[in-house]
Structure 1
Amino acid sequence: MGLVTIAGMAESGDIPMREPLAYFLTWTTYGTWLPGDQRGWVEKPGRFREPNRNMEVANREQMTEPEFVLTSPQRALVELTIRDHCKFRQWSMHAVNCRTNHVHVVVTATGYSPDDVMKQFKSWCTRRLKEHASKPEAPARGPTKNPANSLPLTLRQKFWTRGGSKRIIFDQEGMENAITYTLDGQ
């Protein structure tokens, strides 16, 4: 079945033999975990790469906007947006956890690919972040107090990195592991 990273889960590039139980999705905010990063990085599913300072510097120089770090109110808005989108689509959201530089979601979205689900989440979260920033009462209007966010959100074009981790969960143990990691492993 390909690389299985947590019991009952496989990377989305693998060909499933049966209907998945859920998807374990993770994506990072723009510029916060570049190829070459000191924590290491994933080139492709199952292909972990060691830190490479020169590569990280080269990638940082190619960025077209400053890195994006989510504030506490923005994190709450992202989680609410994901919950609302799951209700609208009638998907079962099992767990969500938005951190300052990444998001984890465990979701069952029958009939949708993990790529489509992640794209929808990113798109709606971007839309809501921009809408919230454009409201006069929103504290995030204009440049935020976080120096990493030096662009007003209404002008920012890039909130998320391309792609992300899309693990397919096939059994209850994999589901429990993903939920536990999402809620308690941060």
Structure 2
Amino acid sequence: MNDPIAFFITIANYGTWLPGDERGWVEYQRGWKLPCRPLELEALARMSEEACILNSGQRELVESQIAETCEHREWILHAQNCRSNHLHAVIGAFETAPKKVRQDLKAWCTRRLKRETNSGRENWWAERGSIRWVFTEEELERVIEYVNDAQDRKHLEIKPDQ
């Protein structure tokens, strides 16, 4: 199999997509699951702080930090979009493990948010996040379009997979 040309990374904010969620959810290493209200209530009860909803200024900080991290690591940033409850990034990070890319994005964005927002928040991101491998130029165009323009169009809906 060929090496990927990019990774399509999605990271939900802390507490915004819990196990059991009414939209469906992803169980780690087991895949997509149907909604389960009791499980969602249990996850909600275990949260240590409120769900993280980013305002426009915080979203700008996240996007700035992603660009800075990619530049520093010499990764190719094809597209990014930080929303109020999740972020997407399409990154060419050759010879870097995709989990390391996701981990670095979360860590550096967390540092920047803590430093520049004067927030006492400890949890900004969900524990993991989705990583999809992009192998062709056609796939790359499709995920870039989704990230930049089409997240709300039904025919391009992409569910998190990890």
Structures share fold, TM-score greater than 0.5: yes
Q: Deviations over 1:29-56 (max 9, x none)?
A: 0001100111111114672111111110
> Which one of 69, 74, 79 corresponds to residue 53 of structure 2?
69
TM-aligned CA distance change 1:168 to 1:105, over 3 Å:
same
RMSD of equivalent CA atoms: 1.2
Residue type matched to 1:157 in 2?
E
Q: Is the 8 A contact 1:45 1:165 kept in 2?
A: no
Kindly indicate whether residue 148 of structure 2 is the aligned counterpart of residue 183 of structure 1: yes
Looking at structure 2, the residues matched to 92 and 47 of structure 1 have their Cα atoms a distance apart, in angstroms, of: 29
How do 1:140-151 and structure 2 match up within 5 A? none
Residue type matched to 2:138 in 1?
E
- Give the superposition deviation at 1:97: 0.3
Q: Deviations over 1:77-121 (max 9, x none)?
A: 100100111111111100000000000000001110110000000
- Residue 179 of structure 1: SS of its match in structure 2? helix
* Count of aligned positions: 151
Query: Which residue does the alignment assign to 1:81?
Result: 65
TM-score under structure 2 length normalisation: 0.90
Looking at structure 2, the residues matched to 162 and 87 of structure 1 have their Cα atoms a distance apart, in angstroms, of: 25
How do 1:107-122 and structure 2 match up within 5 A? 107-122=91-106
Runs of 5+ unmatched residues, structure 2: 152-162
Q: Is the 8 A contact 1:26 1:165 kept in 2?
A: yes
Looking at structure 1, the residues matched to 85 and 29 of structure 2 have their Cα atoms a distance apart, in angstroms, of: 20
TM-score under structure 1 length normalisation: 0.78
How do 1:19-168 and structure 2 match up within 5 A? 19-44=3-28, 47-134=31-118, 153=119, 155-168=120-133
Looking at structure 1, the residues matched to 66 and 52 of structure 2 have their Cα atoms a distance apart, in angstroms, of: 19
TM-aligned CA distance change 1:174 to 1:45, over 3 Å:
farther
Q: Which has the larger radius of gyration?
A: 1
Q: Structure 1: which 4+ aligned runs deviate by more than 3 Å?
A: none
TM-aligned CA distance change 1:46 to 1:20, over 3 Å:
farther
Looking at structure 1, the residues matched to 69 and 110 of structure 2 have their Cα atoms a distance apart, in angstroms, of: 13
Identity of matched residues, %: 44
Residue type matched to 1:20 in 2?
P
- Residue 132 of structure 2: SS of its match in structure 1? strand
Looking at structure 2, the residues matched to 163 and 32 of structure 1 have their Cα atoms a distance apart, in angstroms, of: 13
Looking at structure 1, the residues matched to 82 and 29 of structure 2 have their Cα atoms a distance apart, in angstroms, of: 22
